[in-house]
Structure 1
Amino acid sequence: VYEIIRNELTNFEDSGISLLETSHRTPKYMNLNTEVQNVVRRLLDVPANYKILFIAGGGLGAWSAKAAKEAKKYGKVNLVIPPTDTHVDVPRHIYIMGRVLQWIEQKGGLDAMEQLADKKASLVYNTIEQSAGFYYAPVAKRVRSKMNIPFRIGNPGNDALEKEFLKVTVEEVQALTKYMTEFYKKHSK
Protein backbone atom coordinates (compact mmCIF):
# COMPACT_ATOMS: atom_id res chain seq x y z
CA VAL A 1 0.00 0.00 0.00
CA TYR A 2 2.81 2.41 0.89
CA GLU A 3 4.55 1.73 -2.43
CA ILE A 4 1.36 2.35 -4.42
CA ILE A 5 0.76 5.62 -2.59
CA ARG A 6 4.41 6.65 -2.97
CA ASN A 7 4.34 5.94 -6.72
CA GLU A 8 1.02 7.71 -7.25
CA LEU A 9 1.96 10.70 -5.11
CA THR A 10 3.58 12.43 -8.07
CA ASN A 11 1.58 10.79 -10.86
CA PHE A 12 -1.94 9.81 -9.85
CA GLU A 13 -3.34 7.21 -12.27
CA ASP A 14 -0.97 8.34 -15.05
CA SER A 15 -2.42 11.86 -15.03
CA GLY A 16 1.00 13.50 -14.76
CA ILE A 17 0.09 15.26 -11.51
CA SER A 18 -0.38 14.36 -7.89
CA LEU A 19 -3.81 13.72 -6.44
CA LEU A 20 -2.84 16.36 -3.88
CA GLU A 21 -2.78 18.93 -6.71
CA THR A 22 -6.16 17.88 -8.06
CA SER A 23 -9.45 19.52 -7.20
CA HIS A 24 -11.95 17.40 -5.32
CA ARG A 25 -14.44 18.24 -8.08
CA THR A 26 -12.46 16.74 -10.98
CA PRO A 27 -13.60 13.56 -12.72
CA LYS A 28 -10.40 11.79 -11.56
CA TYR A 29 -11.19 12.48 -7.92
CA MET A 30 -14.91 11.75 -8.33
CA ASN A 31 -14.00 8.36 -9.86
CA LEU A 32 -11.68 7.66 -6.92
CA ASN A 33 -14.42 8.58 -4.45
CA THR A 34 -16.91 6.27 -6.19
CA GLU A 35 -14.30 3.49 -6.32
CA VAL A 36 -13.62 3.78 -2.56
CA GLN A 37 -17.35 3.78 -1.83
CA ASN A 38 -17.70 0.59 -3.87
CA VAL A 39 -14.89 -1.13 -1.97
CA VAL A 40 -16.48 -0.14 1.37
CA ARG A 41 -19.81 -1.45 0.09
CA ARG A 42 -18.26 -4.81 -0.92
CA LEU A 43 -16.15 -5.29 2.22
CA LEU A 44 -18.92 -4.37 4.65
CA ASP A 45 -21.87 -5.72 2.61
CA VAL A 46 -23.54 -2.30 2.57
CA PRO A 47 -26.89 -2.57 0.74
CA ALA A 48 -27.47 -0.45 -2.36
CA ASN A 49 -30.22 1.55 -0.66
CA TYR A 50 -27.66 3.00 1.81
CA LYS A 51 -25.33 5.91 1.06
CA ILE A 52 -21.63 5.85 1.91
CA LEU A 53 -20.59 9.22 3.33
CA PHE A 54 -17.01 10.34 3.81
CA ILE A 55 -17.15 13.26 6.20
CA ALA A 56 -13.90 14.99 7.01
CA GLY A 57 -13.35 17.40 9.83
CA GLY A 58 -13.34 21.06 8.92
CA GLY A 59 -15.16 21.06 5.61
CA LEU A 60 -15.38 24.19 3.48
CA GLY A 61 -16.86 26.45 6.12
CA ALA A 62 -20.35 26.62 4.60
CA TRP A 63 -22.06 26.19 7.96
CA SER A 64 -19.65 28.58 9.66
CA ALA A 65 -20.40 31.20 7.00
CA LYS A 66 -24.14 30.80 7.62
CA ALA A 67 -23.60 31.10 11.38
CA ALA A 68 -21.45 34.22 10.91
CA LYS A 69 -24.11 35.80 8.69
CA GLU A 70 -26.75 35.13 11.33
CA ALA A 71 -24.49 36.44 14.12
CA LYS A 72 -23.96 39.74 12.25
CA LYS A 73 -27.59 40.55 13.03
CA TYR A 74 -26.60 40.82 16.69
CA GLY A 75 -23.11 42.30 16.65
CA LYS A 76 -19.67 42.50 15.06
CA VAL A 77 -18.28 39.20 13.78
CA ASN A 78 -14.53 38.66 13.38
CA LEU A 79 -13.78 36.08 10.70
CA VAL A 80 -10.34 34.50 11.04
CA ILE A 81 -10.53 32.06 8.14
CA PRO A 82 -9.99 32.62 4.41
CA PRO A 83 -13.03 32.73 2.12
CA THR A 84 -14.48 29.33 1.25
CA ASP A 85 -13.52 29.61 -2.42
CA THR A 86 -9.86 29.17 -1.38
CA HIS A 87 -10.57 25.72 0.10
CA VAL A 88 -9.53 23.33 -2.66
CA ASP A 89 -7.84 20.53 -0.72
CA VAL A 90 -8.48 17.04 -1.95
CA PRO A 91 -9.68 14.72 0.81
CA ARG A 92 -6.43 12.72 0.98
CA HIS A 93 -7.82 10.43 3.63
CA ILE A 94 -10.32 8.99 1.14
CA TYR A 95 -7.53 8.23 -1.33
CA ILE A 96 -5.40 6.52 1.31
CA MET A 97 -8.37 4.68 2.79
CA GLY A 98 -9.25 3.49 -0.70
CA ARG A 99 -5.80 2.04 -1.28
CA VAL A 100 -5.82 0.30 2.12
CA LEU A 101 -9.32 -1.10 1.53
CA GLN A 102 -8.32 -2.35 -1.93
CA TRP A 103 -5.33 -4.09 -0.34
CA ILE A 104 -7.61 -5.68 2.28
CA GLU A 105 -9.94 -6.84 -0.47
CA GLN A 106 -7.03 -8.29 -2.50
CA LYS A 107 -5.83 -10.17 0.59
CA GLY A 108 -9.20 -11.89 1.03
CA GLY A 109 -11.34 -9.30 2.81
CA LEU A 110 -12.24 -8.85 6.45
CA ASP A 111 -12.38 -12.59 7.21
CA ALA A 112 -8.79 -13.00 5.99
CA MET A 113 -7.70 -9.99 8.08
CA GLU A 114 -9.37 -11.51 11.15
CA GLN A 115 -7.64 -14.86 10.56
CA LEU A 116 -4.31 -13.07 10.17
CA ALA A 117 -4.85 -11.11 13.40
CA ASP A 118 -5.84 -14.33 15.22
CA LYS A 119 -2.69 -16.10 14.00
CA LYS A 120 -0.35 -13.27 14.98
CA ALA A 121 -1.98 -12.74 18.37
CA SER A 122 -1.94 -16.43 19.27
CA LEU A 123 1.76 -16.66 18.38
CA VAL A 124 2.58 -13.82 20.78
CA TYR A 125 0.19 -14.85 23.57
CA ASN A 126 1.44 -18.48 23.44
CA THR A 127 5.03 -17.28 23.75
CA ILE A 128 4.10 -15.10 26.73
CA GLU A 129 2.26 -17.96 28.44
CA GLN A 130 5.09 -20.44 27.84
CA SER A 131 7.72 -18.17 29.43
CA ALA A 132 6.97 -19.28 33.02
CA GLY A 133 6.21 -15.71 34.07
CA PHE A 134 9.25 -14.05 32.48
CA TYR A 135 6.85 -12.29 30.13
CA TYR A 136 3.64 -11.11 31.74
CA ALA A 137 0.36 -10.17 30.02
CA PRO A 138 -1.48 -7.81 32.40
CA VAL A 139 -4.82 -8.18 30.56
CA ALA A 140 -7.31 -10.95 31.42
CA LYS A 141 -7.59 -13.61 28.68
CA ARG A 142 -11.30 -12.98 28.12
CA VAL A 143 -10.70 -9.35 27.09
CA ARG A 144 -7.35 -9.54 25.31
CA SER A 145 -6.87 -7.65 22.07
CA LYS A 146 -5.68 -9.22 18.82
CA MET A 147 -4.20 -5.94 17.62
CA ASN A 148 -2.58 -4.42 20.69
CA ILE A 149 -0.81 -6.92 22.92
CA PRO A 150 0.57 -5.26 26.03
CA PHE A 151 3.06 -7.29 27.99
CA ARG A 152 5.77 -6.71 30.53
CA ILE A 153 9.12 -8.36 31.06
CA GLY A 154 9.15 -9.79 34.53
CA ASN A 155 6.18 -9.56 36.84
CA PRO A 156 5.14 -6.78 37.40
CA GLY A 157 7.86 -5.48 35.08
CA ASN A 158 11.59 -4.90 34.83
CA ASP A 159 12.20 -1.45 33.32
CA ALA A 160 15.85 -2.13 32.47
CA LEU A 161 15.05 -5.33 30.54
CA GLU A 162 12.04 -3.70 28.85
CA LYS A 163 14.21 -0.85 27.58
CA GLU A 164 16.67 -3.41 26.22
CA PHE A 165 13.91 -5.37 24.49
CA LEU A 166 12.12 -3.33 21.78
CA LYS A 167 10.49 -4.34 17.23
CA VAL A 168 4.87 -7.03 11.84
CA THR A 169 3.80 -9.79 8.91
CA VAL A 170 3.38 -13.31 10.25
CA GLU A 171 7.08 -13.88 9.60
CA GLU A 172 7.97 -10.84 11.72
CA VAL A 173 5.74 -12.08 14.55
CA GLN A 174 7.39 -15.51 14.33
CA ALA A 175 10.78 -13.82 14.53
CA LEU A 176 9.53 -11.81 17.52
CA THR A 177 8.29 -14.88 19.37
CA LYS A 178 11.54 -16.72 18.65
CA TYR A 179 13.47 -13.73 19.99
CA MET A 180 11.21 -13.55 23.06
CA THR A 181 11.95 -17.19 23.84
CA GLU A 182 15.71 -16.70 23.41
CA PHE A 183 15.63 -13.51 25.49
CA TYR A 184 13.69 -15.35 28.21
CA LYS A 185 16.19 -18.23 28.28
CA LYS A 186 19.13 -15.81 28.48
CA HIS A 187 17.76 -13.57 31.25
CA SER A 188 15.44 -15.78 33.33
CA LYS A 189 18.09 -17.47 35.47
Structure 2
Amino acid sequence: MPKVHNFGAGPAKLPEEVYDIIRQELTDFDGTGISLLETSHRSSTYLKFNKEVQNVVRRLMKVPDNYKILFMAGGGQGQFAAVPMNLISRTGTADYLVTGAWSAKAAKEAKKYGKVNLVLPETNRYIVVPHESEWKLDPNASYVHICFNETIHGVEFDFVPDTKGVPLVADMSSNFFSRVVDVSKFGVIYGGAQKNIGTSGVALVIVREDLLNHALPICPSILDWTVTAKNDSILNTPPMFAIYIMGKVLEWIERQGGLEEMAKNALIKSSKIYKLIDESEGFYHAPVHRICRSKMNIPFRIGSHNGDEALEKEFLKGAEALGLIQLKGHRDVGGIRASTYNAVTMEEVDILVDYMKNFQMKHQAK
Protein backbone atom coordinates (compact mmCIF):
# COMPACT_ATOMS: atom_id res chain seq x y z
CA MET A 1 0.00 0.00 0.00
CA PRO A 2 1.43 3.42 -0.93
CA LYS A 3 2.07 6.06 1.73
CA VAL A 4 -1.11 8.00 2.44
CA HIS A 5 -1.27 11.74 1.69
CA ASN A 6 -4.37 13.17 3.34
CA PHE A 7 -5.98 16.20 1.67
CA GLY A 8 -9.21 15.90 3.66
CA ALA A 9 -11.16 19.01 4.64
CA GLY A 10 -11.81 17.84 8.18
CA PRO A 11 -11.16 16.00 10.33
CA ALA A 12 -7.87 16.71 8.66
CA LYS A 13 -4.23 15.72 8.67
CA LEU A 14 -2.21 16.19 11.85
CA PRO A 15 1.56 16.78 11.88
CA GLU A 16 3.58 13.57 12.15
CA GLU A 17 5.61 15.11 14.96
CA VAL A 18 2.42 15.58 16.98
CA TYR A 19 1.48 11.94 16.47
CA ASP A 20 4.87 10.95 17.86
CA ILE A 21 4.27 13.04 20.98
CA ILE A 22 0.76 11.64 21.45
CA ARG A 23 2.09 8.07 21.20
CA GLN A 24 4.71 8.77 23.86
CA GLU A 25 2.33 10.51 26.26
CA LEU A 26 -0.89 8.57 25.68
CA THR A 27 -0.53 6.33 28.74
CA ASP A 28 1.50 8.73 30.90
CA PHE A 29 0.31 12.33 30.94
CA ASP A 30 2.98 14.71 32.22
CA GLY A 31 4.54 12.09 34.49
CA THR A 32 1.29 11.24 36.30
CA GLY A 33 1.54 7.54 35.42
CA ILE A 34 -1.95 7.60 33.91
CA SER A 35 -3.39 8.74 30.61
CA LEU A 36 -5.01 12.14 30.15
CA LEU A 37 -8.02 10.09 29.10
CA GLU A 38 -8.47 9.09 32.76
CA THR A 39 -7.12 12.21 34.47
CA SER A 40 -9.41 14.46 36.50
CA HIS A 41 -10.18 17.80 34.87
CA ARG A 42 -9.80 19.33 38.36
CA SER A 43 -6.30 17.94 38.88
CA SER A 44 -3.41 20.39 39.20
CA THR A 45 -1.74 18.72 36.20
CA TYR A 46 -4.66 19.37 33.89
CA LEU A 47 -5.27 22.88 35.25
CA LYS A 48 -1.65 23.70 34.45
CA PHE A 49 -1.98 22.30 30.94
CA ASN A 50 -5.25 24.17 30.39
CA LYS A 51 -3.42 27.43 31.10
CA GLU A 52 -0.47 26.45 28.90
CA VAL A 53 -2.76 25.97 25.87
CA GLN A 54 -4.35 29.36 26.49
CA ASN A 55 -0.89 30.89 26.65
CA VAL A 56 0.27 29.40 23.34
CA VAL A 57 -2.91 30.70 21.67
CA ARG A 58 -2.18 34.14 23.11
CA ARG A 59 1.44 34.07 21.95
CA LEU A 60 0.80 32.83 18.42
CA MET A 61 -2.07 35.22 17.68
CA LYS A 62 -0.74 38.05 19.84
CA VAL A 63 -4.09 38.14 21.63
CA PRO A 64 -4.52 41.39 23.59
CA ASP A 65 -5.03 41.20 27.36
CA ASN A 66 -8.67 42.31 27.14
CA TYR A 67 -9.71 39.10 25.35
CA LYS A 68 -10.70 35.81 26.94
CA ILE A 69 -9.63 32.47 25.43
CA LEU A 70 -12.25 29.74 25.78
CA PHE A 71 -12.36 26.02 25.00
CA MET A 72 -15.91 24.86 24.34
CA ALA A 73 -17.66 21.68 23.26
CA GLY A 74 -20.02 21.57 20.28
CA GLY A 75 -17.60 22.44 17.51
CA GLY A 76 -18.07 25.36 15.15
CA GLN A 77 -21.76 24.65 14.71
CA GLY A 78 -22.28 24.92 18.45
CA GLN A 79 -20.99 28.47 18.14
CA PHE A 80 -23.53 29.20 15.38
CA ALA A 81 -26.04 29.18 18.27
CA ALA A 82 -23.69 30.55 20.94
CA VAL A 83 -22.87 33.70 18.94
CA PRO A 84 -26.43 35.07 18.77
CA MET A 85 -27.34 33.80 22.24
CA ASN A 86 -24.37 35.71 23.68
CA LEU A 87 -24.54 38.86 21.56
CA ILE A 88 -27.84 39.56 19.83
CA SER A 89 -29.57 40.87 22.96
CA ARG A 90 -27.63 44.12 22.64
CA THR A 91 -29.98 45.39 19.87
CA GLY A 92 -32.03 42.35 18.84
CA THR A 93 -30.57 42.27 15.32
CA ALA A 94 -27.39 41.03 13.63
CA ASP A 95 -25.71 41.33 10.22
CA TYR A 96 -24.58 38.19 8.40
CA LEU A 97 -22.39 38.10 5.29
CA VAL A 98 -23.26 34.84 3.55
CA THR A 99 -20.39 33.85 1.26
CA GLY A 100 -20.78 30.07 1.37
CA ALA A 101 -22.48 27.09 2.96
CA TRP A 102 -21.15 27.60 6.50
CA SER A 103 -22.05 31.27 6.83
CA ALA A 104 -25.48 30.36 5.41
CA LYS A 105 -25.91 27.75 8.17
CA ALA A 106 -24.76 30.27 10.77
CA ALA A 107 -27.31 32.84 9.58
CA LYS A 108 -30.10 30.27 9.58
CA GLU A 109 -29.29 29.31 13.16
CA ALA A 110 -29.15 32.92 14.32
CA LYS A 111 -32.69 33.57 13.07
CA LYS A 112 -33.95 31.49 15.99
CA TYR A 113 -32.76 34.14 18.45
CA GLY A 114 -33.33 37.52 16.79
CA LYS A 115 -33.58 39.44 13.55
CA VAL A 116 -30.95 38.61 10.93
CA ASN A 117 -30.03 41.05 8.18
CA LEU A 118 -28.43 39.44 5.13
CA VAL A 119 -25.80 41.96 4.07
CA LEU A 120 -25.49 40.41 0.58
CA PRO A 121 -28.19 39.35 -1.91
CA GLU A 122 -29.15 35.69 -1.54
CA THR A 123 -27.48 33.29 -3.99
CA ASN A 124 -26.59 29.63 -4.28
CA ARG A 125 -23.42 30.35 -6.27
CA TYR A 126 -20.59 31.28 -3.96
CA ILE A 127 -17.55 32.34 -5.95
CA VAL A 128 -16.59 35.77 -4.58
CA VAL A 129 -16.73 38.18 -1.65
CA PRO A 130 -18.53 41.18 -3.19
CA HIS A 131 -16.90 44.61 -2.82
CA GLU A 132 -17.77 46.40 0.40
CA SER A 133 -19.57 49.09 -1.61
CA GLU A 134 -22.26 46.46 -2.31
CA TRP A 135 -22.83 45.58 1.34
CA LYS A 136 -25.94 46.68 3.23
CA LEU A 137 -24.77 46.91 6.81
CA ASP A 138 -27.14 47.88 9.61
CA PRO A 139 -25.48 50.39 11.98
CA ASN A 140 -27.86 49.15 14.70
CA ALA A 141 -26.66 45.54 14.46
CA SER A 142 -25.40 43.83 17.59
CA TYR A 143 -22.59 42.33 15.54
CA VAL A 144 -21.46 41.50 11.98
CA HIS A 145 -20.75 37.82 11.30
CA ILE A 146 -18.47 36.47 8.58
CA CYS A 147 -16.95 33.11 7.73
CA PHE A 148 -13.32 34.06 7.12
CA ASN A 149 -12.79 30.99 4.97
CA GLU A 150 -15.53 28.84 3.45
CA THR A 151 -14.37 25.23 3.61
CA ILE A 152 -16.87 23.90 1.05
CA HIS A 153 -16.81 26.61 -1.60
CA GLY A 154 -13.21 27.79 -1.14
CA VAL A 155 -13.96 31.51 -0.69
CA GLU A 156 -11.59 33.33 1.68
CA PHE A 157 -11.54 36.95 2.83
CA ASP A 158 -8.28 38.60 1.84
CA PHE A 159 -9.05 41.58 4.13
CA VAL A 160 -10.67 42.37 7.46
CA PRO A 161 -13.96 44.22 6.91
CA ASP A 162 -14.51 47.68 8.36
CA THR A 163 -17.76 47.34 10.29
CA LYS A 164 -17.89 50.95 11.49
CA GLY A 165 -17.60 50.13 15.16
CA VAL A 166 -20.04 47.21 15.18
CA PRO A 167 -18.29 44.13 16.68
CA LEU A 168 -16.96 41.80 13.98
CA VAL A 169 -17.45 38.07 14.62
CA ALA A 170 -15.44 35.65 12.48
CA ASP A 171 -15.75 31.91 12.01
CA MET A 172 -12.13 30.91 11.32
CA SER A 173 -12.62 27.15 11.56
CA SER A 174 -10.69 26.31 8.41
CA ASN A 175 -8.03 29.02 8.30
CA PHE A 176 -7.31 29.42 12.02
CA PHE A 177 -3.56 29.86 12.63
CA SER A 178 -2.72 29.78 8.91
CA ARG A 179 -2.15 33.54 8.61
CA VAL A 180 -1.40 36.58 10.71
CA VAL A 181 -4.50 38.49 11.83
CA ASP A 182 -4.92 41.55 14.02
CA VAL A 183 -7.15 40.18 16.77
CA SER A 184 -7.99 43.70 17.97
CA LYS A 185 -10.05 44.23 14.79
CA PHE A 186 -12.46 41.48 15.86
CA GLY A 187 -14.95 41.26 18.68
CA VAL A 188 -15.03 37.46 18.53
CA ILE A 189 -13.05 34.83 16.66
CA TYR A 190 -14.10 31.19 16.85
CA GLY A 191 -13.63 27.89 15.11
CA GLY A 192 -13.77 24.12 15.37
CA ALA A 193 -10.31 22.64 15.79
CA GLN A 194 -10.62 19.63 13.48
CA LYS A 195 -9.77 21.38 10.23
CA ASN A 196 -6.43 23.04 10.91
CA ILE A 197 -5.40 22.97 14.58
CA GLY A 198 -6.43 19.63 16.03
CA THR A 199 -9.21 17.12 16.10
CA SER A 200 -12.98 17.19 16.53
CA GLY A 201 -14.63 17.84 19.86
CA VAL A 202 -13.51 21.34 20.81
CA ALA A 203 -14.13 24.86 19.57
CA LEU A 204 -11.70 27.67 20.30
CA VAL A 205 -13.32 31.04 21.09
CA ILE A 206 -11.47 34.34 21.49
CA VAL A 207 -13.85 37.01 22.82
CA ARG A 208 -13.35 40.64 23.81
CA GLU A 209 -14.25 41.15 27.45
CA ASP A 210 -16.76 43.98 26.87
CA LEU A 211 -18.88 41.54 24.84
CA LEU A 212 -19.42 39.28 27.84
CA ASN A 213 -22.43 39.54 30.16
CA HIS A 214 -24.97 39.95 27.32
CA ALA A 215 -26.29 36.38 27.05
CA LEU A 216 -29.98 35.80 26.44
CA PRO A 217 -31.82 34.27 29.42
CA ILE A 218 -32.42 31.12 27.37
CA CYS A 219 -28.70 30.59 26.73
CA PRO A 220 -27.58 27.28 28.28
CA SER A 221 -24.68 27.66 30.70
CA ILE A 222 -22.59 25.33 28.53
CA LEU A 223 -22.81 27.85 25.64
CA ASP A 224 -22.55 30.99 27.76
CA TRP A 225 -19.19 32.66 27.16
CA THR A 226 -19.37 34.60 30.42
CA VAL A 227 -19.97 31.46 32.48
CA THR A 228 -17.25 29.62 30.56
CA ALA A 229 -14.76 32.47 31.11
CA LYS A 230 -15.51 32.64 34.85
CA ASN A 231 -14.88 28.91 35.08
CA ASP A 232 -11.70 29.04 32.97
CA SER A 233 -13.30 26.66 30.42
CA ILE A 234 -13.87 24.02 33.10
CA LEU A 235 -17.55 24.50 33.95
CA ASN A 236 -17.96 20.75 33.50
CA THR A 237 -15.65 18.06 32.18
CA PRO A 238 -14.26 19.67 29.01
CA PRO A 239 -13.22 17.74 25.87
CA MET A 240 -9.80 17.30 27.45
CA PHE A 241 -8.15 15.08 24.86
CA ALA A 242 -9.25 17.34 21.99
CA ILE A 243 -7.85 20.34 23.89
CA TYR A 244 -4.63 18.39 24.49
CA ILE A 245 -4.22 17.63 20.78
CA MET A 246 -4.96 21.23 19.89
CA GLY A 247 -2.31 22.37 22.34
CA LYS A 248 0.27 20.01 20.87
CA VAL A 249 -0.54 21.19 17.32
CA LEU A 250 -0.24 24.85 18.36
CA GLU A 251 3.10 24.15 20.05
CA TRP A 252 4.21 22.49 16.79
CA ILE A 253 3.19 25.62 14.85
CA GLU A 254 5.22 27.72 17.26
CA ARG A 255 8.28 25.51 16.73
CA GLN A 256 7.90 25.82 12.96
CA GLY A 257 8.16 29.60 13.11
CA GLY A 258 4.65 30.69 14.01
CA LEU A 259 1.93 32.18 11.86
CA GLU A 260 4.33 34.01 9.60
CA GLU A 261 5.83 30.70 8.51
CA MET A 262 2.40 29.06 8.18
CA ALA A 263 1.22 31.94 5.97
CA LYS A 264 4.30 31.70 3.75
CA ASN A 265 3.86 27.95 3.32
CA ALA A 266 0.13 28.30 2.67
CA LEU A 267 0.76 30.76 -0.15
CA ILE A 268 3.40 28.53 -1.77
CA LYS A 269 1.35 25.33 -1.50
CA SER A 270 -1.89 26.81 -2.80
CA SER A 271 -0.12 28.74 -5.56
CA LYS A 272 1.36 25.53 -6.95
CA ILE A 273 -2.11 24.04 -7.41
CA TYR A 274 -3.78 27.21 -8.68
CA LYS A 275 -0.93 27.80 -11.15
CA LEU A 276 -1.43 24.37 -12.65
CA ILE A 277 -5.19 24.92 -12.85
CA ASP A 278 -4.80 28.32 -14.51
CA GLU A 279 -2.27 27.01 -17.02
CA SER A 280 -4.22 23.84 -17.89
CA GLU A 281 -5.93 25.45 -20.92
CA GLY A 282 -9.36 24.77 -19.45
CA PHE A 283 -8.81 21.15 -18.45
CA TYR A 284 -9.09 22.14 -14.78
CA HIS A 285 -11.46 24.87 -13.57
CA ALA A 286 -11.33 26.76 -10.26
CA PRO A 287 -14.71 28.48 -9.83
CA VAL A 288 -13.70 31.09 -7.23
CA HIS A 289 -12.53 34.55 -8.32
CA ARG A 290 -8.77 34.84 -7.95
CA ILE A 291 -8.78 37.56 -5.30
CA CYS A 292 -10.96 35.40 -3.02
CA ARG A 293 -9.36 32.01 -3.56
CA SER A 294 -8.81 30.08 -0.36
CA LYS A 295 -5.29 29.06 0.55
CA MET A 296 -6.70 26.24 2.68
CA ASN A 297 -9.46 24.63 0.59
CA ILE A 298 -9.08 24.45 -3.19
CA PRO A 299 -12.20 23.21 -5.04
CA PHE A 300 -11.95 22.55 -8.78
CA ARG A 301 -13.69 20.74 -11.60
CA ILE A 302 -12.24 18.64 -14.42
CA GLY A 303 -13.19 18.66 -18.09
CA SER A 304 -15.64 21.60 -17.99
CA HIS A 305 -16.90 24.34 -15.70
CA ASN A 306 -19.65 22.01 -14.49
CA GLY A 307 -17.32 19.03 -14.38
CA ASP A 308 -17.18 15.77 -16.29
CA GLU A 309 -18.34 13.32 -13.62
CA ALA A 310 -16.84 10.27 -15.30
CA LEU A 311 -13.48 12.01 -15.64
CA GLU A 312 -13.58 13.21 -12.03
CA LYS A 313 -14.43 9.72 -10.82
CA GLU A 314 -11.43 8.37 -12.72
CA PHE A 315 -9.25 11.13 -11.26
CA LEU A 316 -10.24 10.22 -7.72
CA LYS A 317 -9.70 6.50 -8.32
CA GLY A 318 -6.23 7.11 -9.73
CA ALA A 319 -5.39 9.46 -6.88
CA GLU A 320 -6.33 6.91 -4.24
CA ALA A 321 -4.15 4.31 -5.94
CA LEU A 322 -1.23 6.68 -5.29
CA GLY A 323 -2.24 7.29 -1.68
CA LEU A 324 -3.77 10.72 -2.40
CA ILE A 325 -6.94 10.49 -0.33
CA GLN A 326 -10.02 12.54 0.63
CA LEU A 327 -9.92 14.66 -2.51
CA LYS A 328 -13.60 14.28 -3.36
CA GLY A 329 -15.49 17.57 -3.30
CA HIS A 330 -18.22 18.20 -0.77
CA ARG A 331 -21.49 16.47 -1.60
CA ASP A 332 -23.23 19.85 -2.02
CA VAL A 333 -20.91 21.02 -4.82
CA GLY A 334 -19.24 17.90 -6.24
CA GLY A 335 -15.95 17.94 -8.10
CA ILE A 336 -12.55 17.80 -6.42
CA ARG A 337 -11.28 19.61 -3.34
CA ALA A 338 -7.71 19.70 -2.05
CA SER A 339 -7.28 21.01 1.48
CA THR A 340 -3.74 22.25 2.09
CA TYR A 341 -3.80 22.86 5.82
CA ASN A 342 -0.71 23.60 7.91
CA ALA A 343 0.09 19.92 8.43
CA VAL A 344 0.04 19.12 4.69
CA THR A 345 3.64 19.19 3.55
CA MET A 346 5.16 20.84 0.50
CA GLU A 347 6.21 17.40 -0.74
CA GLU A 348 2.65 16.13 -0.57
CA VAL A 349 1.43 19.08 -2.63
CA ASP A 350 4.15 18.37 -5.19
CA ILE A 351 2.97 14.75 -5.46
CA LEU A 352 -0.60 15.95 -6.06
CA VAL A 353 0.50 18.51 -8.65
CA ASP A 354 2.55 15.89 -10.50
CA TYR A 355 -0.45 13.57 -10.55
CA MET A 356 -2.67 16.37 -11.86
CA LYS A 357 -0.15 17.10 -14.64
CA ASN A 358 0.08 13.46 -15.64
CA PHE A 359 -3.69 13.03 -15.57
CA GLN A 360 -4.13 16.03 -17.84
CA MET A 361 -1.46 14.84 -20.29
CA LYS A 362 -3.06 11.40 -20.45
CA HIS A 363 -6.54 12.69 -21.22
CA GLN A 364 -5.69 15.62 -23.46
CA ALA A 365 -3.65 13.26 -25.61
CA LYS A 366 -6.74 11.13 -26.33
TM-score (norm 2): 0.42
The alignment status of 1:176 with 2:352, answered yes or no, reads yes
Question: Aligned AA for 2:63?
Answer: V
Cα offset, 1:129, TM superposition: 1.1
Poorly superposed stretches of 4+, deviation over 6 Å: none
Aligned alpha-carbon RMSD (Å)? 2.1
Counterpart in 2 of 1:101?
Answer: 250
What is the alpha-carbon distance in structure 1 between the residues aligned to residue 238 and residue 267 of structure 2? 38
The alignment status of 1:128 with 2:145, answered yes or no, reads no
Counterpart in 1 of 2:29?
Answer: 12
Counterpart in 2 of 1:159?
Answer: 309
Cα offset, 1:186, TM superposition: 0.8
Q: Which runs of 5+ in 2 are unaligned?
A: 1-17, 79-219, 223-235, 317-323, 325-343
Please say which structure displays the higher CA radius of gyration.
1
Cα offset, 1:93, TM superposition: 2.3
| Identity within the alignment, % | 59
State how 1:6-155 maps to structure 2 within 5 Å: 6-57=23-74, 63=221, 88=237, 91-155=240-304
Spell out, residue by residue over 1:61-99, the C-alpha distance to the aligned partner (whole angstroms, 9 max, x if none). x959xxxxxxxxxxxxxxxxxxxxxx6566222211111
Quick check: 1:40–1:101 contact (8 Å CA) kept in 2? yes
Greater CA drift, 161-170 or 171-180? 161-170
Quick check: 1:24–1:90 contact (8 Å CA) kept in 2? no
What is the alpha-carbon distance in structure 2 between the residues aligned to residue 96 and residue 144 of structure 1? 29
Spell out, residue by residue over 1:24-75, the C-alpha distance to the aligned partner (whole angstroms, 9 max, x if none). 11111011111111101111112345443323349xxx959xxxxxxxxxxx
Q: Which runs of 5+ in 1 are unaligned?
A: 65-86
Q: Secondary structure at the match of 1:150?
A: strand
For CA contacts below 8 A with separation 6 or more, give which structure has more relative contact order.
2
Quick check: 1:23–1:89 contact (8 Å CA) kept in 2? no
More helix by share: 1
Spell out, residue by residue over 1:116-167, the C-alpha distance to the aligned partner (whole angstroms, 9 max, x if none). 1111000000011111111111111121110100011111311122112232
More strand by share: 2
Quick check: 1:19–1:90 contact (8 Å CA) kept in 2? no
Quick check: 1:22–1:90 contact (8 Å CA) kept in 2? no
What is the alpha-carbon distance in structure 1 between the residues aligned to residue 360 and residue 314 of structure 2? 12
Greater CA drift, 157-166 or 20-29? 157-166
Quick check: 1:128–1:137 contact (8 Å CA) kept in 2? yes
Q: Secondary structure at the match of 1:53?
A: strand
What is the alpha-carbon distance in structure 2 between the residues aligned to residue 137 and residue 63 of structure 1? 43
TM-score (norm 1): 0.78
Question: Aligned AA for 1:182?
Answer: N
